[in-house]
Amino acid sequence: MTMKILPVHLVFLLTFLAGVFSLRHTAVHIKAGEMVALLCPHHKGSNDAELIWTSHTAQETLLISSISSAEQRQMGLLVHGRNLVILGASVNHQGKYSCSQGNASSEFMLTVYTEQSREYEEQTTYSTTCFTQEYCMLNCPDVNIPDVNTPNMTTNDIMWHKKGESFPIDGYFSSVEKNNHGIYTCTRSYLYDQQSYNRTFAVILDVKPKIIQKSPTINSPLQDDVFHVDLGSPAVISCIAVAFSDSDSLHWLSGNSMLKKNESLTVFYNETRENIDGEIHITASLVIKMVTEEDLSKHYTCKLDSDDTPSSVIITLAQKARPSYISLAVGSVCIIVVMLLTTAVYVKFKIHITLFLRDALGCLSSASDGQSYDAFLMCYKSDTDGLSEDDRECLKSVLEERFGYNLCLYDRDILPGKAVAEAVLDCIEQSRAVVLVPTSLDPGLGSGLLSVIHSALVEKKTRLVFIKTESTEVSKSGSVPEALQLLSEAGNCVTWKGKRSLMPSSSFFWNKLRYHLPAPQHVPKIRLLTQTV
Ligand SMILES: *[C@@H]1O[C@H](CO)[C@@H](O)[C@H](O)[C@H]1NC(C)=O
Ligand SMILES: *[C@@H]1O[C@H](CO)[C@@H](O)[C@H](O)[C@H]1NC(C)=O
Ligand SMILES: *[C@@H]1O[C@H](CO)[C@@H](O)[C@H](O)[C@H]1NC(C)=O
Ligand SMILES: *[C@@H]1O[C@H](CO)[C@@H](O)[C@H](O)[C@H]1NC(C)=O
Ligand SMILES: *[C@@H]1O[C@H](CO)[C@@H](O)[C@H](O)[C@H]1NC(C)=O
């Protein structure tokens, strides 16, 4: 929507000799009885100086600023800030007005019309252009109107009338039609000193035809758009316009060249006209029989040729996205990433997770299997450093006291008098797991006995936890007897890193050991203790 002032407001810029001061001369036209305000423009460098208004009418030359406000009021004048307001203009007010400040000044030529005249209308008519079926707002000009902050002056709402109609209307159209075209008047109304004053303007509304729709529509039908098409498939794009005359036509261009209506061409358009309530709706359909790569690089323009303003929309083609493949790929990648993360987390924390579940759910294997012991603690001779007497005592007490394991100990729980091999096998028989503990002292298990233990474990599928020293790891073969080698391979290994492994803070050693052992069948004593407190 544009507003332009039909009459060029005559502005003269006169530069006097030697540029002593510049003079602006503005023509102001007003109907008798109306209110008009003259605004003195700001002059550079003279803002501190006093502003002086003078009038030169047919009757007299008056220094307005020198008379009292009561006298000004009697003459229908009001000075506020940089404004000189002429409340109800009469022929007597007609003349030249000037405001001066320092060495700068501006001039106004005020013409007062007592009756409707062609000249007055020409000078005070403004215009607004809107397009069919669009929202359209009429703008009431704000030329030579008083400042809203003028003391004791009330500004009322703007009233709109269509010329020739007496009832007021709204100043806008939600969807403007051709028949809304015409001359409108807007009245700005002011109340001052119990007296009402008006300032009216005429506004010509010009309604122009416009392409109203494209099909398939995407976002806004009236904006230039990108249409998504399939390569190798046909595409039809329609453009609809409301025309005002039969001579208006709608057509399609490819680049700058006009397309033809010849249906035997690979790219053409066809046109239909329909009369809807006195309006001519023209539909032009662009038909591309098979979209090629080349078509994607071109601009297509739907153009309305009308007596008034031509209007057009530009369309570019783009290949349809393949959201299904993309989202499928993204989805798959996400699932894989999640699976990898889950696996990584499980591998990293499986010991913690298992022990946590075991502790949280009580015993995972709570069903009694008839065994008397959770584990059989058995020593073997390690070539390098092993657990001392104290270390073994510590290991035993933590497993029993803190974690609640019921242990079978060779030198404590085996009835004396039995042969060593028989006693060891008895212990294995009654235990759910066997823990082999390295010691520096030879416990007296010959390699023959180790082989017997190995076959017993394999036969009974008893769990074996092989605690090995750090050096056992390094010198895997050679110094370690073959029977021990077999046992270490058959069982789950937990590495003993010296005394620090037994510290309660060394959760790594304990967690790993507990992870490989079955859950204890009895409630840990530590829990019983806390429950009785
Ligand atoms: C007006 O007067 C001021 C000083 O009073 C001077 O600086 C300025 O240049 C003058 N302006 C013109 C347009 O002569
Ligand atoms: C506004 O009106 C009040 C009361 O009528 C009056 O006293 C006051 O002087 C007026 N102000 C101006 C700036 O005219
Ligand atoms: C001002 O305009 C309104 C609305 O058009 C009208 O009713 C009223 O009589 C006018 N007043 C004067 C003083 O012209
Ligand atoms: C339509 O195009 C075809 C092929 O280019 C041509 O042979 C034919 O003469 C054209 N028809 C008209 C009516 O222009
Ligand atoms: C214009 O061409 C399109 C595509 O071939 C077709 O669907 C439509 O009906 C045609 N319109 C007229 C008026 O021939």
Q: Letter for the amino acid at 403?
A: F
The CATH number fitting domain 22-113, selected from 1.10.3720.10, 3.30.1330.50, 2.60.40.10, 1.10.10.10: 2.60.40.10
Mean of all residue pLDDT scores within the chain: 79
Tens digits of residue pLDDT in 482-500: 777 888 887 888 888 777 7
The predicted pLDDT at position 445 comes to 67
Q: Domain 214-319 adopts which CATH fold?
A: Immunoglobulin-like (2.60.40)
Tens digits of residue pLDDT in 87-118: 999 999 999 999 998 888 889 999 999 988 88
pLDDT reading at 532 higher than 50: no
Ligand nearest to the CA of 236: 5
For tokens 């503005």, what's the residue?
Answer: 26
For tokens 């709608």, what's the residue?
Answer: 250
Is the beta carbon of 198 within 6 A of some atom in ligand 3?
Answer: yes
Residue nearest to atom 14 of ligand 1 (CA): 20
d(CA 432, CA 367): 13
pLDDT reading at 70 higher than 70: yes
For ligand 4, mutation pick of 264, 267, 287 (most atoms within 8 Å of CB):
264
Instruction: Quickly state the pLDDT bin for 480 (edges 50, 70, 90).
Output: low
Residue in 221, 241, 238, 239 with CA at minimum distance from that of residue 281: 241
Is the beta carbon of 371 within 6 A of some atom in ligand 3?
Answer: no
Q: Domain 125-208 adopts which CATH fold?
A: Immunoglobulin-like (2.60.40)
The percent of the chain in helix, strand and coil, each rounded to the nearest 5, is 25, 35, 35
Cβ-Cβ contacts under 8 Å for 532 (sequence gap 6 or more): none
Tens digits of residue pLDDT in 247-267: 888 889 998 899 999 999 999
Tens digits of residue pLDDT in 180-220: 999 999 999 999 989 999 999 999 998 877 776 655 543 33
Is the beta carbon of 187 within 6 A of some atom in ligand 3?
Answer: yes
d(CA 15, CA 20): 8
For ligand 4, mutation pick of 262, 265, 289 (most atoms within 8 Å of CB):
262
Which one of 221-230, 287-296, 398-407 scores highest in mean pLDDT?
287-296
d(CA 445, CA 452): 11
CB 346, CB 353: distance < 8 Å: yes
d(CA 400, CA 481): 30
Closest approach atom of ligand 2 to CA 152: 1
Is the beta carbon of 151 within 6 A of some atom in ligand 2?
Answer: yes
d(CA 170, CA 339): 65
Q: Which of 77-86, 447-456, 508-517 has the lowest mean pLDDT?
A: 447-456
Residue nearest to atom 3 of ligand 4 (CA): 264
Token couple for 14: 């006169």
Q: What is the CATH number of domain 367-532?
A: 3.40.50.10140
